[in-house]
Amino acid sequence: MSGLFGTMSTALSALQAEQGALEATTNNVANANTPGFSRQRAIMVESDPVVQGSLSFGTGVSLQLQSLRDPILELRLNQETQQQGQLDAQVSAMQQIETMFSSDSGDLGSLMTSFFNSVDQLSTDPSSMPLRQGVLTAAGNMANGFRNTARNLQQQQSNIDLNVGQTVDQVNVLTKQIADLNGEISGMQNLSEDPSTFLDQRTNLIRQLSQLVDVAVVQSDNSIAVTTSAGTALVEGQQSFNLSTQLSNTGVQEVMAQGADITSKISAGKLGGLIQVRDQTIPSILGQLDTLAGGLSTALNAANRSGSDLTGTAGGALFTAPPASGTGAAADMTLLITDPSLLAASSDGTPGSNGNLAKFTAVSTQTIASGQTPTDYYANLVFQIGSDVSNGTAESDASNLILQQLQDQRASLSGVSLDEEAANLVRYQQSYSAAARVVSTLNDLLDTAVNLGKD
C-alpha cells in the first residue's frame, strides 16, 4: 500500500489520462473535415503495480494515443490516383481534340464532300464563271479546313507542352516538401515523439504527387524514399531531387532527371497522360491528316494538270505540293489559284468541255490515302479518335469508382465519426469527474489524517 499520497497520485494519473483522452477527442472533432487526417484513439494502459507482500496494488493509468492508418491501403490509393491522374489528363485533352471531328457542317468530311459536289455542279455547265468560282471556294475551304485542324492540333500540343513544364514544377515543390517532412519525422522519431501529424501531411503530399507522376514509395526505418516507378529517385530521406525540362530537337519539353531524359519512362499520373497525348496521340492524328491532305493534293494537282483551262492552256497545280516526307502536308495545304478560269475542266481545249472534271471527282473514289478513299480514311480517323475518348472515359469512370471505394475504406478506418467522439466525450468526462471526486475525497481523508489528535 502506498499510502494516501500514493493513492492521490493514482487519482491524479486518472485525471491526466482522461484529460489527455479528452484532448485527443477534441482534436479529432476539430479535424473531422481535414483531408487526410487519421483519427487518434486514446488507449488507457494500467500502470505498473506496487507489490506488498502478497498484495499487488495498481498505481493508476497512463495514456497512449494511436493513430489509425493503413499503409497498404494508402499504397493502393496512391496507385489508383496515378491511374486516375493519367486518364483525366488524357481524356480532357482528347475531348478538346474530339470536337474538331464532330460531324457537323464544318468538319473535314463535309468540306471534302462539298468540294466534290462543286466539281459535279461545274460539270453541268463547265464554262460558267460562278460555278468555277464555286469550285475554287470549296477547294479553298477544304484546304483551310485541313490547315486549321492541323494548326489547332499543333496549338493543343504546345498547350500540353506548357502544362508538362508546369507539372514538373509542381512535382519539384511536392518532393521538396516531402523531403522536409522526412526530416521532421525522423527527428521526432529519434526523440521517441509521435510524428502522427507530419505522417498525415506526408501521406497527403505523396497522394498529391501520385496525381502528377507515377511514384513508388519505399519505407526505410525512419523515413521514406520516393522514386518514379521506373526507378528515378525523387526523394531520399531529407534529400529531394528536382526534375527539370529541356527543349528537345522536335521542340517539345523533355523531362530530365539528373541529366537523363526520362520522358518516355513516365507512365502514369497527369504527367504521364500529358506526355502520351503530346508525343503519341496528337502526332498520330496529325500524321493521318497529313496522309489524307497529301494524297488529296497530289491527286487533285494531277487532275488539274491533265486538262486545260478556260483559255485552252494546260492546267497547273491546284494546291501546294505536299512535302516529300509528308509531314506538314495538312498544316501547309493552300489553294494556289485564285482565278476561276485557271480551273482545268476541259479535256479537249474548248471551254465547253467538262471531260477533265471527271478526273477530279474520280479522286473521291480513288484509294489515295493508305489504300483508302478520302471519305473512308477520314471516317476511320473519326472512329479512332472517338474510341480513344470513349475508352479513356470508360477507364476513367472505372478508376474513379475504385478510387472512391478505396477512399471509403480509408475513411471507415481513419475518418472521424462525430457520434463516436461525442460518446467518448461523455465517457472521458464522466471518468474525469469521478477521478476529481476521488481527489476531493482523498483530500478530506488527508485533512482528517493531518488533524488527527488535535482538539
Partner 1 sequence: MRVNPDPTPTILAALATTQQAEETALQQMATGRRVNKPSDDPAASAVLVENHDASSRDDQYLQSLAGVQAQMQNADQALNSVVTALQRAITLGVQGNNGTMSDANRASVVQELQGIQQQLMSTANLTFQGQFVFAGTATQTQPFVADSNSPSGVRYAGNGNTNQVAIGKGFNIQVNLPGSQLFTAPGNDMFQSINDLITSLQSGSSADAAIASVRKSFDYVTAQRVFYGNAMAQMDSQQNYLNNEKLGLSSQEDSIAGADMATVVSSLTTSMTARTATLSAIGQISQVDLFDYLR
10 Å Cβ neighbour count for 207?
A: 17
30 lies in the site for partner 1, by CB under 8 A: no
CA end-to-end distance (rounded Å), the chain: 29
CA angle at residue 369 from 366 to 370, to 5 degrees? 115
Nearer Cβ to partner 1, position 54 or 412?
412
CB 281 within 8 A of CB 306: no
Q: Which of 212, 215, 286, 385 touches partner 1 by CB under 8 A?
A: 385
H-only helix segments in 335-453: 357-362, 374-414, 418-450
Structural contact between residues 83 and 102, judged by C-beta atoms closer than 8 angstroms:
no
**Residue in 261, 339, 348, 447 binding partner 1, rule: CB under 8 A:** 348
C-alpha cell at 185: 519525422
- The 3-state secondary structure of 83-140 reads HHHHHHHHHHHHHHHHHHHCCCCCCHHHHHHHHHHHHHHHHCCCCCHHHHHHHHHHHH
Mark the segment that binds partner 1 (CB under 8 A) among 50-58, 203-211, 354-362, 439-447: 354-362
Q: How far is the CB of 377 from partner 1 (least distance, A)?
A: 10
From the CB of 214, what's the least distance to partner 1, in Å? Answer: 24
Least separation in angstroms between residue 123's CB and partner 1 is: 5
Distance of CA 379 to the CA centre of its chain: 29
Nearest CA to 297 out of 274, 324, 329 is that of: 329
| Residue closer to partner 1, measured from CB, 304 or 346 | 346
Q: Closer CB to partner 1, residue 103 or residue 258?
A: 103
> Angle CA(204)–CA(210)–CA(214) in degrees, nearest 5?
155
Interactions with partner 1, residue window 61-120 (CB under 8 A): 95, 98-99, 101-103, 109-110, 112-114, 116-117, 120
**From candidates 228, 354, 396, 399, binder to partner 1 by CB under 8 A:** 354
Residues 25 and 32: their CA atoms lie apart, in Å, by: 10
Classify 227 as helix, strand or coil.
strand
Looking up cell 471551254 gives: 351
Pattern 388-427, binding to partner 1, x per CB under 8 A?
A: xxx--x------x---x--xxx-xxx-xxxxxx-xx-xx-
Candidate residues 125, 169, 180, 395; the one interacting with partner 1 per rule CB under 8 A: 125
In this complex, which beta carbon is closest to partner 1, that of residue 223 or of residue 354? 354
Query: Would you say 52 or 311 has its CB closer to partner 1?
Result: 311
The residue within the footprint of partner 1, chosen from 146, 198, 378, 428 (CB under 8 A), is: 378
Instruction: Report the C-alpha gap between 294 and 289 in whole angstroms.
Output: 8
Nearer residue to partner 1 within complex by CB, 21 or 234: 21
Cβ neighbours, 10 Å, residue 124:
10
Residue number with CB closer to partner 1 (158 or 341): 341
**Closer by beta carbon to partner 1, 85 or else 195:** 85
Burial class (CB in 10 A: 0-12, 13-18, 19+), 387: exposed
DSSP letter at 261 equals E
79 or 114, CB closer to partner 1?
Answer: 114
Stretch that binds partner 1, among 142-150, 200-208, 375-383, 432-440 (CB under 8 A): 375-383
Q: How far is the CB of 415 from partner 1 (least distance, A)?
A: 5
Among 38, 163, 346, 431, indicate the residue that binds partner 1 (CB under 8 A): 346
In the set 64, 246, 313, 387, which binds partner 1 (CB under 8 A)? Answer: 387
CA 15/CA 282 separation, integer angstroms? 68
Based on CB atoms, which residue is closest to partner 1, 298 or 417?
417
Stretch that binds partner 1, among 150-158, 260-268, 331-339, 376-384 (CB under 8 A): 376-384
Min separation Cβ 8 and partner 1, Å: 30
Q: Are the C-beta atoms of 135 and 343 separated by less than 8 Å?
A: yes
Residues 281/270, Cβ–Cβ less than 8 Å: no
Name the residue nearer to partner 1 (CB basis): 283 or 351: 351
Which of 298, 339, 340 lies closest to 319 in space, CA to CA? 298
Least distance in angstroms from the C-beta of 124 to partner 1: 4
Kindly state the cell numbers that stand for 232.
528515378
For partner 1, the binding residues (CB under 8 A) are: 32, 95, 98-99, 101-103, 109-110, 112-114, 116-117, 120-121, 123-128, 346, 348, 350-355, 358, 361, 364-365, 375-376, 378-380, 382-390, 393, 400, 404, 407-409, 411-413, 415-420, 422-423, 425-426
